[in-house]
Amino acid sequence: MSDQAMKEQVQEVLDKLRPFLLRDGGDCQLMDVEDGIVKLRLLGACGSCPSSTITLKAGIERALLEEVPGIVEVEQVF
């Protein structure tokens, strides 16, 4: 699968998760997908929340690993 096709699938999953982030005053922005690694920037309350790593790894990464073939990891970029 091309990086562009993977980006589109990742964006679809993020769009499904976005209401949960927005409810807590946060959001995320897809920066890039390269070699199966998704690079996300956490925004708003998520950017400064002490639980953001848990949100990123246990929530967003788990959903992407389950729904998008080829994804291996999610990294937070600042």
Query: Domains (ranges, CATH) in the chain?
Result: 3-76 (3.30.300.130)
CA–CA distance from 22 to each of 5, 28, 65, 66 (Å)? 26, 9, 22, 22
Asked whether 8 and 76 are in contact (CB, 8 A), the reply is: no
Tokens 């600042």, residue located? 78
Residue with tokens 């005053």: 25
72 closest CA partner among 4, 6, 17, 5: 6
pLDDT per position as a tens digit, 4-63? 899 999 999 999 999 989 998 999 999 999 999 999 999 988 788 788 888 888 889 999
